[in-house]
Chains A and B, each alone.
Chain A
Amino acid sequence: METSLGLLNSAGGGGGGGGGGGTLDKNTAKVEKDYMGMSKEPELELVEKGKGSAWGEYGRILTAKDFPNGFSSGRNAVSAGTKRERASANSVDEGSASSPAVSQVVGWPPIRAYRMNTLFNQAKTSNVEEDKGVGGNENDEQSKKKMNHGNDKNDVVVKERGNVGFVKVNMDGLPIGRKVDLHAHKSYETLAKTLEEMFFKPSLTTRGGKEQSVQPPKLLDGSSDFVLTYEDREGDWMLVGDVPWRMFLNTVKRLRIMRTSEANGLAPKSQDRNEKQNGKPI
């Protein structure tokens, strides 16, 4: 039972189970290496075409393979020795106090795809019910729902129906990106607030753990060290907030929280693409 004890001591992370693996034969070890292996792509592309792999036309789906260090909250370290370095380039950083893992595992939690489409509307709109009671809002819900049901002909949208509206968000200085469901938001304000809380909570910075006293910096009004930018369908990086929200939803591919100093090249409040000089900060 040494294997399982070994796992327990390391709090059971690493589904490959090879922690104490001296007794594993060559094949199994090799298998586990594959099982723990790195994903092929360093970034999640929303649609990945023509790779010739089984999943080529369906986009790259992250599985447990991509997160060999396990998904538990920070207290569960993983002992899977050599496999770590292969995976580290793409692994969930155990050092971060947050547990982004739940949102990045396919098919987990096990909730029917149909219900996923409707869930986020409910969770978000229940907070704004004071605003409701006017017929106009229902139309917003309707069209938002329609978008949620995967009818968006824009082939940039993730093809898996369960991940409606999720786009990747990276922040300068953080190796691990997050994902945010754009369809759960009705405006730039709520999106910015969510991202501010996601990336600027005190636990991620060097501040102390007292959440109440710290206000996350505002991403949209230009007052902080960071700005919120997005890559649109044409591959250009733009400042978030310029275009109407719906248009933004249709054109955004991914988000990036960029240092203000680096964002100087982006066309600020100008719609004219010709004025942009440096569209690709990465």
Chain B
Amino acid sequence: MPFSKNQMDPDPPEDSPSNSTNSEGANAPQSPFPDEVLEKVLSFIDSHKDRSSVSLVRKDWYNAERWTRAKLFIGNCYAVSPEIVARRFPRIKSVILKGKPRFSDFNMLPRDWGANVHSWLVVFAKVYPFLEELRLKRMFVTDESLELLAKSFPGFKALSLLSCDGFSGNGLKAIVSHCRNLTELDIQDCVTEDFAGDWLSSFPENFASLEILNFASLNSEVSFDDLERLVSQCKSLRVLKVNESITLDLLQRLLMHASQLTELGTGSFSQELTPRQYEEIERAFSNCKNLQVLSGLWEASSLYLPLIYGACAGLTFLNLSDVALQSGEFAKLLAYCPNLRRLWVTDTVEDKGLEAVGSTCPLLEELRVFPADPYDRDQRDGVTEVGFLAVSRGCRKLHYVLYFCRRMTNAAVVTIVRNCPNFTHFRLCIMNPREPDYLTNGPMDEGFGAVAKTCTKLKRLSISGLLTDLTFEYIGKYAKNLETLSVAFAGSSDRGMQYVLEGCPKLRKLEIRDCPFGNAALLSGRGKYEMMRSLWMSSCAVTIKGCRLLAKEKPGLNVEVISEEENDESQADKVYVYRSVAGPRRDAPPFVITF
């Protein structure tokens, strides 16, 4: 679907809701519905994609839609400005806002690159006093911003921070002490400085409304007494994910108050226990009859895993990525989890552990295998194509995989997708850059080609290993539903990138690093980038001149470059291209060149 400027029209009409009958002039037919009816009907439409479609039908639909939209989804905070958003949508209660390009997760961008949420909050504070929810991903969030948030929205209920940074305990303190109606505080994968845990003690004395509390990734010791009181008072608490500072015996006390939990993230799972303590903890887990999601389990070992057996019958998502289990104890645990649909593990379980997955988890839909030691010099441990094959044989419903390994073969990949043709997300990371097929010592082209060809529903693909342009030719030819493609250390020439740009009509996000794609490849996509969310290219063969050319030809795109040198012929180290109706961003730090 072509990107339409209507999506975020810089100058939307200021009509009031019931006044759109004359907005289209004499030529347009009258709407068959009064506006009130139209708005009532539209208020049932939740999905932002559907709402965007609705807004394109005709002018009165556009108006009805903008007045009834309550949830805002902004996939790239720089694609639009807070002012434009505020002008178009007057009644927003919930905002999802995403900032930095994904590669910032891997430290490929300096800390002050941007995506600061503050300017958004300043506008929201003025325009959306009834804001209830804010979900941020890869944004820079300062304590000052959190304080502004805490004080500006009396009905604020839910704060979710995923992969964000910039804040400390002081910001959290402001949130928990001011937001009287808080139901959700969810902090995931945020890298923060070590800070004091007294934010948790700042919840008001009789606070009882919390339903979701996740501070698993925060590295601070909290007051257990305050936590216990909080948990016992919040009768609607259904998600609780604590951090490592909470030991097993303390967890047991929390579980006594919260056996209704549907999602639990434990703290540290290794402690010297008396037999009586062991029994108590076992019982506390068995009392959690509603558990669907389990995570944490830091340092759990075969000695302590049996504690959770009684809580696993209803588990649909087991996240073991924070603990390094061996295959034996892992297999024993799996036997208690017949209903698993999502499983995250560390590769310490090895192929043998994955064989257990294949034989025990017939309902499995998603598998993620993370490397315990990505820099393992010996490269002996971990999982291989054998484990992946075993899973594919036993888990025919598998459609999402993230797999870090050190060796793979084309033959295995071909068989895997034959067993599981319904992949929507296939993210295979062979960790050694340009690693060839283990058996043939040749490229992995045929394997990924099979993925593209066989998995007709494929939406997201990450490729790795030794790859020539042929892989891209396959992707361009077959992956017609592909939306996100991640490429590293692959390809032989510009043609590679061109195949994808020419062949994948639904492509939205393309991220490339360390590939031999240059200006010709970059410019060949000039007609495409406005239909995408963004393009990232780093350590490729693009020059400043190429970027400048693209920016000149396409004013609807922001082209940003980070480079050591600024003359035309120098390599553009990092290139970030994205569509925007807000023009080049004004908060770019000095090391970012905006054209």
Q: Which residue of A lies closest to B404 (CB)?
A: A109
A243 beta carbon closer than 8 Å to chain B: no
Cβ–Cβ < 8 Å partners of B355 in chain A: none
Given contacts A12-B434, A125-B299, contact A115 B189 (CB under 8 A): yes
When A4-B468, A55-B564 are in contact, do A122 and B324 touch as well, CB less than 8 Å? Answer: yes
User: Are the CB atoms of A112 and B106 closer together than 8 Å?
Assistant: yes
Task: List residues of chain B with CB within 8 A of the CB of A53.
Answer: 564
Interface residues of A in 20-56 (CB under 8 A from B): 27-28, 30-32, 34-35, 53-55
Interface of B is mostly: loop
- Taken residue by residue from 230 to 270, chain A's Cβ proximity to chain B (1 for < 8 Å, 0 otherwise) reads as 00000000000000000000000000000000000000000
Q: Is the CB of A161 within 8 A of B516?
A: no
Within 8 A of A (CB), among B387-437: 404, 429, 431-436
Pairwise interchain contact A76-B436, C-beta atoms closer than 8 A: yes
B570: CB under 8 A from chain A?
Answer: yes
- Would you call B149 an interface residue if the criterion is a C-beta within 8 Å of the partner chain's C-beta atoms? no
Cβ distance A160 to chain B, nearest Cβ, rounded Å: 5
**A72 to B435, Cβ gap below 8 A?**
yes
Q: With A12-B443, A17-B493, A150-B191 as known contacts, state yes or no: A107 contacts B432, CB within 8 Å.
A: no
Which of A63-71, A81-89, A213-221, A272-280 lies at the interface?
A63-71
Nearest CB in chain B to that of A198: its residue:
B377
**Interface digits, B558-579 against A, CB 8 Å rule (1 contact, 0 not)?**
0000111000011101000000
Complex Cα–Cα for A154 and B429 (A): 34
User: B322 is contacted by which of A120, A122, A181 (Cβ under 8 Å)?
Assistant: A122
User: Bound complex: CA of A2 vs CA of B333, how far in Å?
Assistant: 53
Query: Is residue A171 within 8 Å, beta carbon to beta carbon, of the partner chain?
Result: no
Chain A residues contacting B221 (CB-CB under 8 Å) are 142
> Are B107 and A117 within 8 A (Cβ)?
no
Check if A118 is an interface residue, CB within 8 A of chain B. yes
1/0 per residue, CB under 8 A from A, across B301-333: the answer is: 100000000000000000001111010000000
Contact A141 B299 (CB under 8 A): yes
- How many residues on the A side are at the interface (Cβ–Cβ under 8 A)? 77
Inter-chain contacts of A13 with B (CB < 8 A): 434
A157 CA to B330 CA, complexed, in Å: 36
Would B443 and A34 count as touching, CB distance under 8 A? Answer: no
CA distance A55 to B107 in the complex (A): 13
User: Is A123's CB within 8 Å of the partner chain B?
Assistant: yes
- Least CB distance, B51 to chain A, in whole angstroms: 31
Tell me, in angstroms, the Cα distance from A250 to B294 when the chains sit together.
36
- From known contacts A71-B489, A103-B375, infer whether A63 and B539 are also in contact, taking CB-CB under 8 Å: yes
Known interface pairs A107-B107, A132-B299. Does A16 touch B370 (Cβ–Cβ under 8 Å)?
no
* Those of B284-308 within 8 Å (CB) of chain A: 298-299, 301
CA distance in complex: A119, B106 (Å):
14
Residue in B106, B371, B375, B569 whose Cβ sees the most chain A Cβ within 10 Å: B375
- Stretch touching chain A among B225-233, B264-272, B446-454: B264-272
Tell me if A225 counts as interface (CB < 8 A to partner B). Answer: no
> Given contacts A11-B466, A34-B570, A135-B272, is CB(A107)–CB(B106) below 8 Å?
yes
CB of B591 closer than 8 Å to a CB of A: yes
Q: Which residue of A lies closest to B302 (CB)?
A: A129
Query: What CA separation (Å) do A18 and B517 show in the bound complex?
Result: 11
B163 contacts chain A at the CB level, 8 A cutoff: yes
A63 to B106, CA, bound (A): 13
Most A C-beta atoms less than 10 A away, residue of B371, B489, B540: B489
Query: B383 near A: Cβ within 8 Å?
Result: no
Known A-B contacts A100-B377, A107-B107; A133 and B270 likewise in contact (beta carbons under 8 Å): yes
Instruction: Flag if B443 contacts A123 (CB, 8 Å).
Output: no
- Residue A138 at the chain B interface, CB threshold 8 Å: yes
28 contacts between A and B (CB under 8 A): A4-B492, A12-B434, A12-B492, A15-B515, A17-B516, A30-B569, A31-B571, A35-B541, A35-B571, A55-B564, A58-B111, A64-B539, A72-B434, A73-B435, A75-B441, A99-B377, A101-B433, A102-B375, A106-B106, A110-B105, A110-B486, A119-B374, A123-B373, A129-B270, A141-B244, A151-B193, A151-B194, A151-B219
**A-B CB proximity, top 10 nearest:** A17-B516, A107-B106, A151-B194, A4-B492, A126-B324, A54-B591, A103-B375, A162-B107, A71-B433, A114-B189
